[in-house]
Structure 1
Amino acid sequence: MPVTSDITATYRGPRRVMRRLLSMGPREDRALAILMGACLIVFVAQMPRLSREAHLTGQELNMLLGGALLGWIFIAPLMLYALAGLSHLIARLIGGRGSWFGARLALFWSFLASTPVLLLHGLVAGFIGPGPGLQAVGLIWLVVFAWFWIASLLQAEEPAP
């Protein structure tokens, strides 16, 4: 299934999509591609906000973009790997029976599937700026991401039949 179809399907049933992704077997290259795709989309989503910030403050746009690129392409993946490991350890403490790969895939896929809302957040930040609209879209993203991650992690940590 194409990634865009899986993202759309995740909004209807995140556990079903995660079950299908896990059934494809543990392939770290796929998990890393999902993570890097999500980080790239988040970097692109930051561009309108950074452009607005550069215009309003007189800062150099290329410097802001370089910092965002460094953060999202090189640093964020490392932090997300650590967060996935921590979530797996916590799941183990409360009875989870999944794998390290399953926990990583659950987090990475949830992050990628929630990026359409992050793209909207970037547009609101760039064109409207700070305010209740931006906060509302940010809250919507947080709820969507949490829903996807919790549902995916529950699926990944279920005992194997």
Structure 2
Amino acid sequence: MPVTTDIAATYRGPGRVVRRLLDMGQREDRALAILMAACALVFVAQMPRLAREAHLTGQELNMLLGGALLGWLIIAPLLLYGIAALSHLLARLVGGRGDWYGARLALFWSLLASSPALLLHGLVAGFVGPGPALQGVGILWLVVFGWFWLSGLRQAERPTA
């Protein structure tokens, strides 16, 4: 299925989409592509906020964008691999029987699938600025991301037949 269709399907049943991705077999290149696409979308979501910040503070926009690009496309993927490993270890403590790949895929897919809410958060941060609207959209994204991640991790840590 196309990625956009899978993202829409994730809002209806995140566990089913992650199970389908896991059933396609272990492909680290697929997991890395999902992660890099998610990180690229997070970077794009930061652009309106950074443009607003540059305008209001007089800072150079290119410097802000360069820092965000470095952070989201170089550093964040490394940190997300570590977070996925920790989530797998925690799942093992409570009886999970999945593998490292499943934990990575669940985290990376939840970040990519929740990107529409994150893009909305970036627009609100850029056009409205700090306030209740930004906090509300941020909480919405956090809830959606957590729902997707926990549902995906539950599927990934189930015993395989």
- Fold equivalence (TM over 0.5): yes
TM-score scaled by length of structure 2: 0.99
Identity %: 78
Q: Which amino acid aligns with 1:61?
A: L
Q: Deviations over 1:31-55 (max 9, x none)?
A: 0000000000000000000000000
Query: In the alignment, which residue of structure 2 is the partner of 1:134?
Result: 134
1:117 aligns with 2:117: yes
Q: Secondary structure at the match of 1:154?
A: helix
Which secondary structure does the structure 1 equivalent of 2:4 belong to?
helix
Q: Secondary structure at the match of 2:26?
A: coil
State the Cα deviation string for residues 138-159 of structure 1 (Å, max 9, x = none): 0000000000000000000001
CA distance, structure 1, for counterparts of residue 132 and residue 64 of structure 2: 24
Residues 1:99 and 2:99 are matched in the alignment:
yes
Partner AA of 2:76 in structure 1: A
CA distances 1:49-97 after superposition (whole Å, capped 9, x unpaired): 0000000000000000000000000000000000000000000111000
The SS at the match of 1:96 is coil
Q: Distance in 1 between matches of 2:67 and 2:129?
A: 20
Secondary structure of 2:97's match? coil
Unaligned runs of 5+ in 2: none
Q: CA RMSD in A?
A: 0.4
Q: Which residue number corresponds to residue 90 of structure 1? A: 90
Structure 2 counterpart of 1:44: 44
Q: TM-score, normalised by structure 1?
A: 0.99
How far did 1:160 drift?
1.1
Separation in 1 of the partners of 2:103 and 2:89? 9
Secondary structure of the residue that 1:70 maps to in structure 2?
Answer: helix
> Which runs of 5 or more residues in structure 1 are unaligned?
none
